[in-house]
Structure 1
């Protein structure tokens, strides 16, 4: 896509430069200057869009959230939901890819045509008798052939021509050879292949050919009689179009004769060429890349990297990658990720993680790169302030095409989010009271700060909402009050609501997977009682648990999980300890073994 935009910018530059020539320069008799103007501006048209101009902007007091925040959402479906036959939605047609294929096909076809033209041209030269005039080869022919030249070859059809006319034609074509006009034509042919869709390139080609002939005619007029030279032009005024080489009489005769007898332009008019400088400056400002000294606002696909150092160790599927991969990898290919803050005591792959550590596992063992739509979604999500309780965003639907909405809820230490249709209506069930989206926008800060208990989101038809009138709503966000029943729980912990889920999934940026583990904080005095040989967890809950023994923690976790995973047994819960936390704390990674 960037390449196509670049070519469009090049085309816009050629249009600006050619219009300047057409309006102000084409009637001037400074043919050599005009020739070089046309050639140089073709090069400038390709250079300007590729330029990067450093600028120092004024300071602006704008707060931008640089890091995308992903909220894990635990969703449950009741037993009475029937099995669905899921059919993969058709991906939207990628018009940019089709356009790129069409452009490349056209360029390839034109290049092949140009190469065939060259092959035919040089094959015709084989076996022909040539006459040498210095370094110039003259090909005499009695066949139907236009008088012309290409590099150091001159083609001469001397039938019905006097000796004087033949000498004038040869002198004319030798001037073309000496001035390297064929190199100009070849350059323009290549530009026409690259910018075949740009009409101004064809105007460029025509104007360059005209200036070639005007330049040579002017030189010939200084050494021969203008009237007799004009008569020769009339005599040889028929020529075929589209030839590779210069034809003696290809350019419209009227233009050449008018220019031949025109009074030379006053030298003062050369000042007009100075006006091209502001045109170049405007083109640079319009199409060159402006680069500020301020750091670029990059959006990371992985959340939680704000506290990492400059060069964190990043491992994807067992391979080490540079930090910029975090801004390039597609969220759709990520199966799970682990972020460890900088800690010199931690060693990963034989290295101390002084700047932090990130481990990413992909779905299919391969990396795909972020698309423009995915990047746009990330930017929109990153702009949501973390202290804003409710937000509803319009995002690209990456699976079906079109758009979807996403509601993001931020709390003090956690949050919840869900996707919904453009016309879907969301409700908010807080302490058994239902609020609309308009009402939740104006909730007092005291109500939001007092939120506690289990939070989540689910379809309005779930059994848990049967005691509330949820008619007209498609999705319900809920907060259940804490009912303290275990002496090992702190006041901040959540007691789960007991229900019988059919399936439990975690919604994580663009894909779902089963919950297999949770992470908790615990006191250091229970470290020795924990099993250190379990697998690392995938999901970090990060709750502060006020416990003193492994047994009470195991019972507490069992109560929490049994409500959502009815088949889980107490013996299915194992532990893994990460002792790399700050002194006095350790991380208990609760591993739930798959139910048989």
Structure 2
């Protein structure tokens, strides 16, 4: 399921970059900056799922008295439910394998065509002359063309065009977009993104060509090549493509103003909103009691026979007063020895919790003993989470109730029969949501 979440989040980023480009940048002429913007979109899409904002929320977790729980056993249904997430993941993985295979076949066809041609090294480029009816293209330092399809003057311009593609490493852009489509084959924005990258690369080279050549002659060459129907490989940078009209329009478009490049920053608030909406993780933690609060003596108001008394060291003073009264009562009858003549009504105000607890006593304050059968003194039960035995130091309060699917409680002989001697103190079997 984590893989599907990764794909969904990265697809969202690709969609945001695509929309931002189409709305704000499509008609701008700073093609080099647009190239880096589109490449940044791919890398941000891959990194976005790992950008998590952690939000800690403190909650009051109730203490569970295991001695008060009854024996419950949830019978599992004999019919297993279909794991639809696994089905979707399997189908998606099969799609990725199919498109990866298709991409590898295209690469194999490309190198097969290169190996069949006549290779000539010109500087750092390898000129590959082929006889196949294919449009001229470049792939890294390989420039492939059929000389019989072009005149000498046309071929010179076409080779110059492809050399610029090779020099600026545009094949890397094409490989990245193809791998993006393999990973996000179900995302239509990924396919549109690949096409958008390819078109912008053509705009970039066209703009560089016309700065050193007659613009009308170059446009005429583009129109002339569009008449021929020649095969090409999508993984390469080709001189001819079906967007000749748009390329000619862009060649005649006036240059964009420099401040228009700031439009690229509009994608940043979009990404921020996406992070807040989809990448915020809430962690619930139990509130811990500070040691400083424990050492503070609570404020106590004592009412003795309808008379209010303020006591600084409340507990100690009240104990001494009670002892004196108990000693005075010792001379009375044995029946009255255990009682105190005066009644003490007092309130304990806990500043940390902002609560007031009223207490009424007719006997001296004594040490409160915890009952033997209290869960505070009872041995800890065996805790099993998702089939794994937890250590004795495991704190049940760390569990988030919303993540628990069901709990099985085993006590006494039923716990021993099922888990052996280690279950003599009871067993709590917990299954969490997947």
**Normalising by the residue count of structure 1, what TM-score does the alignment of the two structures yield?**
0.49
**CA deviations over 1:353-392 (Å, ceiling 9, x no partner):** xxx489xxxxxxxxxxxxxxxxx9x72497xxxxxxxxxx
Aligned to 1:52: 52
Shift of 1:89: 2.1
Change in 2 beyond 3 A, CA 1:163/1:64? same
Gaps of 5+ in 2: 288-373, 428-434
Aligned to 2:370: none
User: Of 404, 414, 421, which residue of structure 2 is paired with 1:515?
Assistant: 414
Shift of 1:139: 1.2
CA distance, structure 2, for counterparts of residue 232 and residue 268 of structure 1: 33
Change in 2 beyond 3 A, CA 1:176/1:87? closer
Q: Report 1:259-274 matches (<5 A).
A: 259-274=250-265
Gaps of 5+ in 1: 77-85, 298-303, 316-325, 341-355, 359-375, 383-394, 397-507, 519-534, 543-596
Change in 2 beyond 3 A, CA 1:187/1:9? same
CA distance, structure 1, for counterparts of residue 122 and residue 63 of structure 2: 71
Shift of 1:67: 6.7
Aligned to 1:379: 401
Shift of 1:125: 2.3
Does the CA-based 8 Å contact 1:148-1:247 persist in structure 2?
yes
**CA deviations over 1:177-216 (Å, ceiling 9, x no partner):** 0111100000111111111111100111011001000000
**CA deviations over 1:90-115 (Å, ceiling 9, x no partner):** 11111001111111111122222222
Q: Report 1:552-563 matches (<5 A).
A: none
Q: Does 1:64 align with 2:61?
A: yes
CA distance, structure 1, for counterparts of residue 76 and residue 51 of structure 2: 47
Shift of 1:131: 1.7
Does the CA-based 8 Å contact 1:34-1:211 persist in structure 2?
yes
Aligned to 2:421: 536
**Which one has the bigger helix percentage?**
2
Shift of 1:146: 1.1
CA distance, structure 2, for counterparts of residue 171 and residue 296 of structure 1: 68
Q: Report 1:240-389 matches (<5 A).
A: 240=231, 243-290=234-281, 295=285, 329-330=385-386, 333=387, 356=393, 379-380=401-402
Q: Secondary structure at the match of 1:138?
A: strand
Change in 2 beyond 3 A, CA 1:338/1:176? closer
Does the CA-based 8 Å contact 2:126-2:143 persist in structure 1?
yes
User: Of 131, 137, 141, which residue of structure 1 is paired with 2:120?
Assistant: 131
Aligned to 2:90: 101
Shift of 1:282: 2.0
Q: Does 1:150 align with 2:139?
A: yes
User: Of 100, 107, 132, which residue of structure 2 is paired with 1:111?
Assistant: 100
Q: Secondary structure at the match of 2:414?
A: coil
CA distance, structure 1, for counterparts of residue 223 and residue 65 of structure 2: 74
Does the CA-based 8 Å contact 2:135-2:239 persist in structure 1?
yes
CA distance, structure 1, for counterparts of residue 426 and residue 411 of structure 2: 17
CA distance, structure 2, for counterparts of residue 170 and residue 162 of structure 1: 12
Shift of 1:48: 1.7
CA distance, structure 2, for counterparts of residue 109 and residue 222 of structure 1: 43
Q: Report 1:154-303 matches (<5 A).
A: 154-237=143-226, 238-240=229-231, 243-290=234-281, 295=285
CA RMSD between the two structures? 4.0
Change in 2 beyond 3 A, CA 1:45/1:516? closer
**Normalising by the residue count of structure 2, what TM-score does the alignment of the two structures yield?**
0.66
Shift of 1:510: 8.1
CA distance, structure 1, for counterparts of residue 411 and residue 233 of structure 2: 61
CA distance, structure 2, for counterparts of residue 281 and residue 262 of structure 1: 33
CA distance, structure 2, for counterparts of residue 72 and residue 140 of structure 1: 83
Q: Does 1:18 align with 2:18?
A: yes
**CA deviations over 1:311-362 (Å, ceiling 9, x no partner):** x9xx9xxxxxxxxxx79x41xx47xx7975xxxxxxxxxxxxxxx489xxxx
Shift of 1:9: 1.2
CA distance, structure 2, for counterparts of residue 32 and residue 306 of structure 1: 71
Does the CA-based 8 Å contact 1:52-1:291 persist in structure 2?
no
Shift of 1:241: 6.2
Change in 2 beyond 3 A, CA 1:70/1:42? farther
Higher RCO, 1 or 2 (CA under 8 Å, sep at least 6)? 2
CA distance, structure 1, for counterparts of residue 63 and residue 230 of structure 2: 65
Does the CA-based 8 Å contact 1:68-1:381 persist in structure 2?
no
Shift of 1:509: 1.0
Q: Secondary structure at the match of 2:148?
A: coil
Change in 2 beyond 3 A, CA 1:88/1:53? closer
Aligned to 2:350: none
